[in-house]
Amino acid sequence: MSEGTKCPLTVGRRSAAASKRLMREVVGALLLLAALPAAGLVGCAPSSAPELVAPSVLYVSRGPHDAAELRVEEKGAAEATVTFDARDLKGVAVIEPALDACPVRLPVFHCTGKDGDPARGGNRQYFRLSPARGAGAGDSAVLRYRMTSPGRPAVTGSSRIVIGKPELVVDARPDRSDVNPGGSLAVALTIRNTGDVPARGVALFIDTRDGIAPATRHSNCLYRGTTSTWCRLPVADVVIPPGASYRLGAREVFTAGHDATYPSVSFRAAALGTDYVPPPELASQYRHGDGSALRLVPAGSRHAGTAEKGSSELKVPVNNRTDLGTV
């Protein structure tokens, strides 16, 4: 790729139809990138070029004291200049420096990183974003980047800035209060969006401890041993509007080991773009399942759930009365 080569950028203003279509494309790209070791890479460059790392989507809460942090990294170059084109942000979001390392001079400004060690992640720039006056939930704009480095090809990228934030809460309900050694436990899980914009795609983490493990390894989930399950359902599979609830298409089943005493199962859910993505060294430890796919389906009012937290933990006593009676 020669100097100045441009990659296709996500472009658009704030019409409802265009924003919806563009968000599908952006989040779809985020899902693909998150499955790779370099999660969040938005720069378009050949392997010999430096890398530009920034979020594909950044949600900006409308809370008065809850500015969103934007981190942009330049990797693979000891010296690099990033040009920030913030013209599309006008009327949507306000961008300010977070660490005073790079002054913001709108509408287009430049940040030069020096003395960064490419082997240790290179240079980083930090900014705070907050809603512009009059901006409403769902308004969005594109912040564009162009990185240049002496003797290297240019790299371009973008982040879609969305006003508002999806907030997912989970409600887990087991089918029994305890479990026999070697027995199973089925859990009904409901996820509700209490935020002010749709959750376009959902990430679900399930952690098991002390002798209990998933009975099925879903083909669209990743597993680290028997203790951690990581599922990322793309926007093509699920979009949860504000105030709506979705539930698992089937109860999630877990099996207790014969030596289990007081195991636990915890669930966490987040919208894609707000979720935790493990670092490469940890993500590489996960392996795909080969069972039926995990699905989320709309929940009726009977299954809407009443939880108010983003995580839910179940403590599951093990019924050891049979074993005790033979001692």
Residue whose structure tokens are 């480095």: 149
SS3 state of residue 136: coil
- CA dist 286 and 279 (Å) reads 12
Please, are residues 38 and 51 in contact by the beta-carbon 8 Å criterion?
yes
Domains and CATH numbers, the chain: 16-163 (2.60.40.1080), 168-325 (2.60.40.1510)
Nearest to 226 by CA among 313, 282, 286: 286
Strands 152-163 and 57-60: parallel
Q: What is the predicted pLDDT for the residue at 115?
A: 56
**String of DSSP letters for 140-196:** EEEEEEEEEETTEEEEEEEEEEEEB---EEEEEEES-S-B-TT-EEEEEEEEEE-SS
Nearest to 193 by CA among 173, 163, 170, 160: 170
Q: What is the predicted pLDDT for the residue at 25?
A: 40
Instruction: Return the H-helix or E-strand segment holding 203.
Output: strand 202-209
Please, are residues 193 and 167 in contact by the beta-carbon 8 Å criterion?
yes
Q: Which residues fall within 8 angstroms of residue 168, CB to CB, at 6 or more apart?
A: 191, 192, 193, 194, 195, 199, 202, 240, 269, 270, 271, 310
Show pLDDT as tens, one digit a residue, over the chain (327 residues): 333 333 433 333 344 444 444 344 433 433 333 443 333 445 554 455 688 999 999 999 998 778 899 999 988 887 889 999 999 999 999 999 997 678 999 999 999 876 555 444 568 899 999 999 999 999 999 999 999 988 888 999 999 999 999 999 999 999 998 898 999 999 999 999 999 999 999 999 999 999 999 999 999 999 999 999 999 999 999 999 999 999 999 999 999 998 888 899 999 999 998 988 888 889 899 999 999 999 999 997 655 555 556 668 898 888 876 543 333
Please, are residues 312 and 267 in contact by the beta-carbon 8 Å criterion?
yes
Q: What is the predicted pLDDT for the residue at 48?
A: 58
SS3 state of residue 34: helix
* 127 CB-side CA count, 13 A: 26
Nearest to 52 by CA among 146, 128, 160, 162: 146
Q: Across the strands, what pairs with 303?
A: none
Strands 202-209 and 245-248: unpaired
Write b or e for each residue in 208-235: b if 16 or more Cβ atoms lie within 10 A of its Cβ, otherwise e.
bbbbbbbebbbebbbbbebebbbbbbbb
